[in-house]
């Protein structure tokens, strides 16, 4: 009897290994998951996650950080132009009040004004802190942190490291963080948040190397997972920007707001096709770069919004003086807000005045007319851009213009949070960075993203640590864990039965729907079609399957990720359909003007009791009187 029994066990093990259910013998024999326990768990290791981890650790609690990729490869490294903070190093007139006013104006006054206030006041301290930790910012002649012009900012405000600011930020935070006793877990993907009644108490995840499931238990959890650009066909975002954190919070019961507001950065590469969408920093325009159509005309002069006419010049010479730091000059129209510049480029292309490959021309080489050492200046100020075009497109930007076009870049919406603490609607759950909504309103100003990461990453870490220190451990629901693991393994079973769809094909179809119907311009018919198509894609996603085993299996990973991508896409489409006006990053061809009644409300989505997505309208909290006076004064 012993030999047949052992043979049966061996056969069972082989079957499970072949089908990907167990990757290691000990998984089966021990009958246990890998388990980790922290006071504070942070999902995401970009700027917000690292700053939150440093702050929480400083409060004396145990901190664990999950990063989907390797440490140091977060999408923050792709931020190029600089970090916005009113240091006043280049123009002493700058201060928190001007920064606050610029942020509110850029966001079309839909911003969470308390977040905008805290951001403007605390950003300078966060930048100086980064400098103290070793960040090597570019310098003024007298040794202070240098600041450059950027779209929507009244004064030169962006502290920068050439055009590699995000990379330097991550390097600095990472170098500082690894000495604080923080436990980093690399190449880990979260499947679901775990709850004890209404409270988040941890997460179920798996390691991408071996596909082994893990339970992370924590007293408080911070989501800092970034954006969702990969649900669009053309994007500047990296592979892991699928909106997973936003979706995790939504499925845990958190509300999302402002999901209709997507920022299409005006300048992404359009050629060659292999690098389409790759970001071209706004710093090119901040250093004097101009936009021209196929006729050689600077078309931005044709459309200057009333909101910015008193700050913008249609005189080329004055615009040049502005980029060179003249405090009395007005900005060139190329440095208007990103939503406006992107729509102007879109208009030129649609009118047949675009470049050969469907964009327009961005020219920094023209400054040779103004500077003797222009070539050396461009290489010094824009080293990444010079090498990017030289290596990928065979273009020398010191001698010829670049072809550029809009690319999906940033989501202003995300998880609804408390301004001071970054708490969500769900007890024990926090959010910070791009996945958290409120600061940017209808449109984000360039550079505000990096200071957002620092300011609200620090606040999230402090408040999550404080809550963890006074909270008892929650209970992990083992039945919930088992159900989620069973769901996660379904793609292998479906593939075995030969009834599965290809997860990569579903993602490709999703990207087409979002690019074509929920892109730079939208209308009622297109949004209705998008919502219907997303419902059909949901059915396909539920039938997605993959072969092989769980070790480094991109097909399996994508099959699971479709849930998050489709959740975020549905939220964007439904919120966009609800907001019947054009404002900031939301442009409707059938409602081309602003609706004043919608200028003081947020569109929110939440998961209903029946599991379906519900849309609601939330009135904004009225602006505090002293901040009203600040805006009037600055205008």
CB 205 within 8 A of CB 191: yes
Q: What is the pLDDT of residue 404?
A: 95
Q: Is the pLDDT confidence value at 9 over 80?
A: no
Residue 521 DSSP symbol: S
Residue where the block lists tokens 């290691």: 24
Strand residues in 314-470 grouped as ranges (E): 360-363, 402-411, 414-416, 429-431, 436-437
Least confident of 118-122, 344-348, 411-415, 432-436: 344-348
* Cα distance between residue 125 and residue 119, in whole Å: 10
337 versus 90: which is more confidently predicted?
Answer: 90
Exposure b/e, 464-477, CB count within 10 A at least 16 = b: bbbbbeebeebebe
**pLDDT above 70: percentage of residues in the chain:** 95
Mean pLDDT of 494-505: 86
Q: What is the pLDDT of residue 337?
A: 87
CB 412 within 8 A of CB 107: yes
Give residues with Cβ within 8 angstroms of 463, minimum separation 6. Answer: 420, 421, 422, 423, 430
CB 218 within 8 A of CB 40: yes
Handedness of CA 178, 184, 189, 192 (dihedral sign): negative
Residue 35 DSSP symbol: E
Q: For the chain, what is the largest distance between any 2 Cα atoms, rounded to a whole number of angstroms?
A: 94
Tens of pLDDT, residue by residue over 540-584, are 999 999 999 999 999 999 999 999 999 999 999 999 999 999 999
Tens of pLDDT, residue by residue over 255-265, are 999 999 999 99
Exposure b/e, 420-434, CB count within 10 A at least 16 = b: ebbbbbbbbbbbbbb
Give residues with Cβ within 8 angstroms of 103, minimum separation 6. Answer: 111, 116, 119, 120, 439, 440, 441, 445, 448
Q: Is the pLDDT confidence value at 172 over 70?
A: yes
CA nearest neighbour of 426 among 204, 220, 602: 220
The two tokens of residue 536 are 């059909």
CB 465 within 8 A of CB 61: yes
Q: What is the pLDDT of residue 311?
A: 86
Q: What is the pLDDT of residue 211?
A: 94
Mean pLDDT of 397-421: 96
Mean pLDDT of 224-230: 96
pLDDT range class, residue 6, cuts 50, 70, 90: very low
C-alpha radius of gyration, the chain, whole number: 25
CA nearest neighbour of 57 among 222, 182, 173, 178: 182
Strand residues in 140-181 grouped as ranges (E): 147-148, 158-159
Alpha helices in 518-622 (DSSP H): 524-542, 554-578
Angle between helices 47-58 and 448-469 (to 10 degrees): 30
3-state secondary structure of 106: helix
CA nearest neighbour of 554 among 565, 542, 562, 546: 546
Please spell the DSSP secondary structure of 147-199, one letter per residue: EE--TT-SS--EE-STT-HHHHHHHHHHHHHTTTT-EEEESEEEEEEEEETTE
Q: What is the pLDDT of residue 16?
A: 44
308 versus 86: which is more confidently predicted?
Answer: 86
> No. of H helices and E strands in the chain?
18, 19
3-state secondary structure of 394: coil
pTM for the model stands at: 0.91
β-strand 262-269 against 256-257: which pairing, if any? Answer: unpaired
Q: Which helix (H) or strand (E) is 207 found in, with range?
A: strand 199-207
Q: Distance from first CA to last CA of the chain, Å, rounded?
A: 89
- Please count the other Cβ atoms lying within 10 Å of the Cβ belonging to residue 377: 18
β-strand 290-292 against 613-619: which pairing, if any? Answer: unpaired
Q: Is the pLDDT confidence value at 414 over 80?
A: yes
pLDDT range class, residue 500, cuts 50, 70, 90: confident
CA distances from 38 to 1, 55, 359, 469, 563 (A): 47, 15, 49, 11, 27
pLDDT range class, residue 607, cuts 50, 70, 90: very high
Least confident of 19-23, 540-544, 593-597: 19-23
* Cα distance between residue 4 and residue 8, in whole Å: 6
Q: What average pLDDT does the chain have?
A: 92
Mean pLDDT of 259-272: 94
Mean pLDDT of 280-301: 93
Q: What is the pLDDT of residue 499?
A: 76
CB 510 within 8 A of CB 569: yes
* Cα distance between residue 262 and residue 260, in whole Å: 6
* In the chain, where the domains are located: 1-31, 268-408, 483-599
Q: What is the pLDDT of residue 32?
A: 65
CA distances from 577 to 413, 428, 570 (A): 15, 32, 11
| Sheet architecture: strand order including 256-257 | 436-437, 414-416, 256-257, 601-607, 613-619
Residue 149 DSSP symbol: -
Whether the link from the prior residue into 272 is cis, omega within 30° of 0, is yes
Least confident of 58-72, 204-218, 298-312: 298-312
Q: Is the pLDDT confidence value at 205 over 70?
A: yes
Residue 57 DSSP symbol: H
CATH of 483-599, one of 1.20.58.100, 3.40.50.410, 1.20.140.10, 3.40.50.800: 1.20.58.100
**pLDDT above 90: percentage of residues in the chain:** 83
Hey, what's the torsion of the CAs at 316, 318, 319, 323, to 10 degrees?
140
Handedness of CA 455, 141, 331, 628 (dihedral sign): positive
Please spell the DSSP secondary structure of 235-267, one letter per residue: BSS-TT-S-HHHHHHHHTT--EE-TT-EEEEEE
CB 489 within 8 A of CB 556: no
Mean pLDDT of 410-434: 98
Alpha helices in 473-522 (DSSP H): 478-496, 503-517
Give residues with Cβ within 8 angstroms of 353, minimum separation 6. Answer: 293, 294, 295, 297, 299, 360
Q: Is the pLDDT confidence value at 33 over 90?
A: no
CB 219 within 8 A of CB 474: yes
* Cα distance between residue 196 and residue 54, in whole Å: 27
Least confident of 11-25, 425-439, 477-491, 571-585: 11-25
**Catalytic residues, which ones?**
265, 285
3-state secondary structure of 139: strand
β-strand 436-437 against 414-416: which pairing, if any? Answer: parallel
Tens of pLDDT, residue by residue over 428-452, are 999 999 999 999 999 999 999 999 9
CATH class of segment(s) 268-408: alpha beta
CA nearest neighbour of 335 among 361, 365, 367, 301: 301
Mean pLDDT of 91-95: 95
CA distances from 535 to 202, 411, 542, 574, 613 (A): 30, 22, 11, 12, 12
């Amino acid at each position: 009897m012993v030999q047949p029994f052992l043979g049966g066990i061996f056969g069972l093990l082989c079957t499970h290994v072949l089908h990907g259910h167990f990757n290691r013998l000990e998984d089966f024999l021990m009958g246990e998951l890998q388990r980790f326990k922290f006071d504070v768990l942070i999902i995401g290791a970009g700027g917000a996650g690292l700053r939150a981890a440093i702050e929480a650790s400083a409060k004396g609690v145990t901190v664990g950080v999950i990063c989907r990729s390797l440490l140091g490869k977060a999408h923050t490294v792709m931020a190029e132009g600089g970090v916005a903070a009113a240091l006043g190093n280049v123009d002493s007139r700058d201060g928190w009040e001007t920064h606050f006013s610029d942020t509110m104006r850029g966001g079309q006054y839909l911003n969470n004004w308390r977040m905008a206030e805290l951001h403007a006041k605390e950003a300078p301290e966060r930048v100086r802190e980064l400098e103290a930790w070793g960040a090597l910012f570019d310098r003024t002649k007298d040794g202070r942190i240098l600041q450059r012009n950027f779209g929507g900012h009244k004064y030169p405000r962006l502290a920068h490291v050439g055009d590699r600011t995000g990379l330097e930020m991550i390097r600095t935070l990472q170098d500082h963080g690894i000495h604080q006793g923080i436990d980093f877990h690399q190449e880990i993907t979260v499947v679901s948040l775990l709850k004890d009644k209404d409270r988040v108490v941890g997460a179920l995840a798996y390691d991408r190397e071996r596909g082994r499931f893990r339970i992370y238990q924590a007293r408080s959890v911070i989501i800092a997972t970034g954006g969702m650009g990969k649900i669009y066909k053309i994007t500047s975002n990296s592979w892991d920007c699928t909106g997973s954190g936003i979706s995790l919070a939504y499925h845990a019961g958190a509300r999302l707001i402002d999901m209709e507001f997507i920022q299409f950065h005006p300048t992404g590469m359009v050629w060659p096709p292999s690098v389409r969408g790759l970001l071209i920093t706004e710093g090119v325009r901040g250093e004097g770069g101009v936009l021209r159509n196929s006729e050689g005309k600077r078309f931005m002069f044709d459309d200057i919004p009333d909101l910015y006419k008193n700050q913008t010049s249609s005189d080329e010479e004055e615009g040049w003086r502005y980029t060179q730091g003249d405090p009395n000059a007005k900005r060139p129209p190329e440095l208007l807000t990103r939503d406006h510049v992107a729509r102007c480029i879109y208009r030129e292309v649609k009118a047949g005045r675009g470049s050969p490959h469907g964009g327009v021309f961005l020219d920094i080489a023209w400054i040779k007319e103004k500077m003797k050492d222009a070539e050396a200046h461009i290489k010094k100020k824009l080293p990444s851009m010079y090498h990017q075009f030289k290596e990928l497109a065979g273009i020398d930007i010191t001698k010829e213009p670049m072809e550029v076009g809009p690319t999906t870049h940033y989501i202003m919406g995300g998880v609804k949070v408390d301004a001071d603490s970054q708490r969500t609607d769900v007890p024990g759950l926090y959010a910070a960075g791009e996945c958290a909504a409120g600061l940017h309103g209808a449109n984000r100003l360039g550079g505000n993203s990096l200071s957002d990461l620092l300011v609200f990453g620090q606040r999230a870490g402090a408040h999550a640590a404080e809550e963890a220190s006074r909270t008892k451990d929650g209970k992990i629901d083992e039945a919930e864990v088992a159900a989620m693991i069973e769901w996660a393994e379904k793609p292998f079973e479906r593939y075995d039965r030969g009834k599965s769809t290809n997860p990569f094909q579903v993602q490709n179809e999703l990207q087409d729907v979002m690019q074509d119907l929920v892109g730079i311009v939208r209308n009622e018919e297109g949004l209705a079609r998008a919502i219907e198509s997303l419902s059909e894609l949901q059915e396909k996603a539920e039938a997605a399957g993959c072969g092989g085993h769980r070790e480094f299996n991109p097909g399996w990973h994508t099959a699971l990720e479709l849930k998050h991508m489709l959740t975020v896409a549905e939220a964007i489409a439904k919120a966009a359909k609800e907001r019947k006006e054009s404002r900031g990053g939301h442009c409707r061809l059938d409602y081309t003007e602003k609706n004043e009644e919608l200028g003081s409300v947020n569109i929110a989505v939440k998961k209903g009791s029946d599991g379906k997505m519900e849309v609601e309208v939330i009135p904004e909290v009225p602006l505090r009187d002293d901040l009203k006076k600040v805006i009037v004064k600055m205008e």
